[in-house]
Structure 1
Amino acid sequence: MSTPVLLSWSGGKDAAWALHALQQRDDVKVVALLTTLTEGHARSSMQGVRHAVLQAQADAVGLPLREAWIPQACDNALYLAAMHEALQQAQQRWPGIARIAFGDLLLADIRQWREQQYAEFGWQALFPLFGRDTAALARQMIDAGLKAQLCCVDSAQLDAGFAGHVFDHALLDALPADVDPCGENGEFHTCVIAGPMFRRPLQLQQGETVLRDGRYAYTDFITTVGPA
């Protein structure tokens, strides 16, 4: 039997590609997506993807969306408390589940932190993409039909004008040499619209781009099917 797994879901390309990678395996089965949302904004933390878009993504891949809500002023303790509660609720729904997957690619310190923290909850963290060459991986995603747009740009690392840009070969060619092609150092985040992990593409409308905290350029995306 396949081992049930939760997948940490930001709404971005790396989480989507992690799902695609796990879908190719016989030993695991993703049973739900787990997303962290900020109270008062109803958007994924850091990426700023609307809850309605996250739900549309979950519907498109055919998986339930589990939610962990955190306050706007959130430290590690509050974050971990919210995640622990969400994991306990998942175990009530899927008794025996104890594995959660992440789309992390390169950062060993983040991986180690996740492994340690989730082990304290009795969970094992999986990293199906870790160690991949991000330049090759970015182009593999695009060639395989993944479609996404930049929804958040850290203007301290990348020009804010890239916000809203389609994640395509032209973008990769235009990125400065010191910017990771997958944005693994936090240079940018994406909102996935289509790909081999989706049963159907999303119908999204691009909204305005705003600069927050004097640093992060967020581009809004609104689903045109159902409530926004």
Structure 2
Amino acid sequence: MRKTYFNWSSGKDSSLALYYTLQQKEYNITKLVTTINDDFKRVSMHGLRESLLDAQAVSLNLPLHKIKLSANVSMTSYNEVMKDNVMNLKSEGYTHCVFGDIFLEDLRIYREDQLRSIGIQGVFPLWKKNTKELLLEFINLGFKAITVCVNAKYLDDSFCGRILDESFLNDLPENVDPCGENGEFHTFVFDGPIFSDPINFEIGDKVLRNYTPSSDDDDNCFTDEDDKSWDTSFWYCDLI
């Protein structure tokens, strides 16, 4: 079996991809890897408290490696930190890593290009699968998830802090991908067939946060073109 680490986001796509991969004999997953916003001690993009991420890892019975990044990290710095961490993982004998990506071609190309330079091979078990069918499979398998972040450009606050079920799927606007693959929403999975125990939590405050991309230097993640289209408002549901 190939020694493999798993890029864990704490959400539904990661959970289903991990479920798929654990059914195979080809990959031996022995570690989760998650990027953390070190300024706020939360999972990047999802806004999930680090303590709940830790609880997931315990229930999954897998060690967790955290890659800590500042809130305003530039793309160059991001690439450097990621490269250093992946090189360390390679030195531990890892040859493959798994992602929960479904259809974003540019993101997959970026990941594979970065990994190829280090000698790690990416694995994408959900690639090109129908996202509506994936979400229904996720629900039918017994996974439990709640939305922790929604893009205000696509969804109002009523979708934030909501349990993923068929009612949620049916209520999504037509322009929103059923799995939120375009960044429309992010989730926290708190139970399912790969967890030994459910994750206990309470629902806290719901807040709208606005972000302004900076273009102070050429090192920033955003170009002028990106600034015009970048989504800047997100509803977050704090889980405690």
TM-score class, shorter: over 0.9
- The Cα of 1:10 is off from its aligned counterpart by 1.0
Which whole-Å deviations, capped at 9, do the CAs of 1:13-53 have from their partners, x for residues lacking one?
11111110110000101111100001210111111111111
Match of 1:163 in 2: 160
| Alignment partner, residue 18 of structure 1 | 17
Measured after TM superposition, the shift of residue 85 of structure 1 is 2.3
Mapped pair 1:220 → 2:238: yes
Alignment correspondent of 1:226: none
- Counterparts of 1:50-199 in structure 2, within 5 Å, are 50-92=49-91, 95-199=92-196
- Say which SS state the counterpart of residue 211 (structure 1) adopts: strand
User: How far apart, in 2, do the equivalents of 1:40 and 1:161 lie?
Assistant: 28
Contact 2:154 2:176 in 1 (8 A): yes
> Alpha-carbon deviation of 1:90?
2.6
1-side partners of 2:70 and 2:39: how far apart? Answer: 8
Distance of 1:49 and 1:196 partners within structure 2: 21
Aligned equivalents of 2:87, 2:42: Cα separation in 1: 22
Q: Is the 8 A contact 1:66 1:86 kept in 2?
A: no
Give the SS at the match of 1:204: coil
Structure 1 residues without counterparts, runs of 5 or longer: 223-228
Please list the CA deviations of residues 50-108 of structure 1 after superposition, one character each: whole Å capped at 9, or x if unmatched. 1111110011110001010111111222222222222233344xx32121111001111
1:4 shift after superposition: 1.2
Calculate the TM-score normalised by the size of structure 2: 0.88
Give me the CA root mean square deviation: 1.1
Q: Is the 1:154–1:160 contact (alpha carbons within 8 Å) kept by the matching residues of 2?
A: no
Deviations 1:165-189 (A, max 9, x none): 0011110011011111100010000
Structure index of larger Rg: 2
2: distance between equivalents of 1:31 and 1:103?
17
| Secondary structure in structure 1 of the residue aligned to 2:168 | helix
Whole-angstrom CA distance in 2 between matches of 1:4 and 1:26: 11
SS in 1 for 2:202: strand
Indicate conservation of the 8 Å contact 2:11/2:187, yes or no: yes
8 Å contact from structure 1 (residues 38, 72) kept in 2: yes
User: Which whole-Å CA distance do the structure 2 matches of 1:91 and 1:118 have between them?
Assistant: 10
Taking the aligned partners of 2:101 and 2:239, their CA distance within structure 1 comes to 24
Identical residues among aligned pairs (%): 37
Tell me how far apart the structure 2 counterparts of residues 198 and 79 of structure 1 sit (CA, whole Å).
31
Q: How many Å separate the matches in 2 of 1:98 and 1:67? A: 19
Unaligned runs of 5+ in 2: 211-231
User: So what's the TM-score if we normalise by structure 1?
Assistant: 0.93
Q: Number of matched residues?
A: 219
